Structure 1
Amino acid sequence: MIRVLIVEDEPLIAEAHREYLGRLGGFEVVGAVTTAQQAIRATSSAAADGTPIDLVLLDLGLPDARGIDLAAALSGIRPDPDIIAITAQRDLATVRSAMSHGVLLYLLKPFTFAAFAEKIRQYLGYREALGGGTDAVSQRDVDRALAELRTTDTRRTAKKGAAPDTEDAVGRAVRDSDGGLTASEVAATLGSSRVTAWRYLERLAEDGAVERLTEYGNTGRPQVRYRWRR
């Protein structure tokens, strides 16, 4: 079992992390904390007890410290945990800084289960490449591990004809709305066709990120409203 610490100050998102890891299997969530101080304390204590944290799911927008500073501090603990940043911070400077301070992978909010699972699959491939049971690795092992971090599941995207940027934009539009959006409303927001919006909304629904709400108007013709799962 891979021991995981969730560092997230939004309880609903932290619970989503826990639920998604449970669906994937092979992970033990040993704690969920909301501040940088709690994260340092939990990680240091686990290392001292001989039960170190293997993976930290880290939100970069914490109330008491910059997530990037926390990533750097966690990298100084021995044994140091691997870090996946899961955050809404999408500016290039933050992404570059995070990667240079020990973050292996970067997942933007809002995210679907499929996007979360893809990052976890990349991480597992990375661990497998370096998990030979000894301290020494070959150049081939290192190259393979780095390749795993750069590889995405393009087969899934190609199969469904989906573009990650568009899916991200559709998910963000629904999540930012008060009571959900219809396919027509998403299309108007993004400047896309209704069919395109509907296709991505259905993909998000299949992944469990949004729920479908059927509404009946005066004409009796139903329409589906998609609402982000809280």
Structure 2
Amino acid sequence: MTLRVLVVEDDPVAADAHALYVTRVPGFEVAAVAHSRAEAVRALDEQPRVDLILLDLYLPDGNGLALLRSLRAAGHTADVFAVTSARDLTVIREGVSLGVVQHVLKPFTFRSLSDRLRRYADFRMSAEAHGEAVSQDEVDRALSVLRAAPPSSALPKGLSTGTLDTVTSALREQGEAGLTASEAAERIGVNRITAGRYLEHLATTGRAHRRQRYGHVGRPEHHYVWRR
């Protein structure tokens, strides 16, 4: 299912950029663009479905969180990414209490937003596929998908963010077919040991499943599948 996004941003140039970013991420489309609180309310009333709102917190005719509060009271259940230059943690906490699932600080890059959109899509797919969690671990794994990727300084020694992103993309593209270290190495142009280290990191951080694949000869290989 394609996820429909309402972009709410008072700056026309920024609004166009944010809408363009959304359209560049597979599985997402722009439902409408609004430049004010009034336009956002009208768009939500007119659109058949909005799954996600990219919500600027500072609008010419009212605060974004006040808009969100009124939308919730009116029964609108779309998820929200708060897009803001505000660093005030009290504002962030209020957003969380109103159901904001991500805070994206301005200025941001396409990569920063696309990563969060992909994680949001994974979270939606996981929730809709499994329906009901059977354990605390499953709840924790589902929520962890929404969290931003760790900064490069938090990666194990010898791993880089760039290569991790490349391995992650290759694994995601394979879907349920998954990859072994040998297959990943061939796809991205690194040696098998290096590919294996990145795949193991994805498995140990809960972003991929690790399984055994038995071949015709030799010891079984680890087989990795992106966790949905």
TM-score of the superposed pair, with normalisation by structure 2: 0.61
> RMSD across aligned C-alpha pairs, in angstroms?
2.5
Q: Distance between the aligned counterparts of 1:16 and 1:157, measured in 2?
A: 30
Give, in angstroms, the shift of residue 68 of structure 1. Answer: 0.8
Cα distance change, pair 36–60 in 1 and its aligned pair in 2 (3 A)? same
Aligned to 2:89: 92
In 2, the alpha carbon distance for the partners of 1:138 and 1:42 equals 38
Q: Are 1:39 and 2:40 matched, yes or no?
A: yes
The match for 1:114 among 106, 111, 115 is: 111
Q: CA deviation at 1:31?
A: 0.8
Shift of the 137–92 alpha-carbon distance from structure 1 to 2, 3 Å rule, reads same
What amino acid does structure 1 have at the position aligned with 2:68?
A
Q: Which residue of 2 aligns with 1:65?
A: 62
Structure 1 residues 24-64: Cα deviation after superposition (integer angstroms, max 9, x where no partner)? 12112111011112212221333xxxx22101000001111
Matched-pair identity in %: 37
Provide the rounded CA distance (Å) in 2 between the counterparts of 1:117 and 1:54: 16
Contact 2:116 2:148 in 1 (8 A): no
Check 1:160–1:130 CA distance in 2 against 1; reply closer, same or farther (3 A cut). Answer: closer
Instruction: Provide the TM-score with structure 1 as the length reference.
Output: 0.60
Deviations 1:88-125 (A, max 9, x none): 11111111111111211000001111211121122122
What do the CA deviations read for 1:61-81 (whole angstroms, capped 9, x no partner)?
A: 111111111122223444510
Aligned length: 156
Partner of 1:75: 72
Tell me how far apart the structure 2 counterparts of residues 107 and 56 of structure 1 sit (CA, whole Å): 12
Q: Which amino acid aligns with 1:70?
A: L
CA distance in 1 between counterparts of 2:7 and 2:109 reads 17
Verify the 8 A CA contact 1:52 1:79 in the aligned structure 2: no
Distance change in 2, residues 1:129/1:86 (3 Å): same
**For 2:21, what is the secondary structure of its paired residue?**
helix
- The structure-2 alpha-carbon separation of the partners of 1:160 and 1:133, relative to structure 1 and needing over 3 Å to count, comes to closer
> Quick check: 1:56 aligned with 2:53?
yes
Provide, for residues 125-170 of structure 1, a one-character-per-residue CA deviation record: whole Å limited to 9, x for no partner.
2212211385x55555543332112242556985159xxxxxxxxx
* C-alpha contact (below 8 Å) 1:6/1:57 kept by paired residues: yes
Q: Which residue of 2 aligns with 1:104?
A: 101
Flag as ranges the 4+ runs of structure 1 deviating above 4 A.
136-141, 153-158
**Does 121-130 or 59-68 show the bigger shift?**
121-130
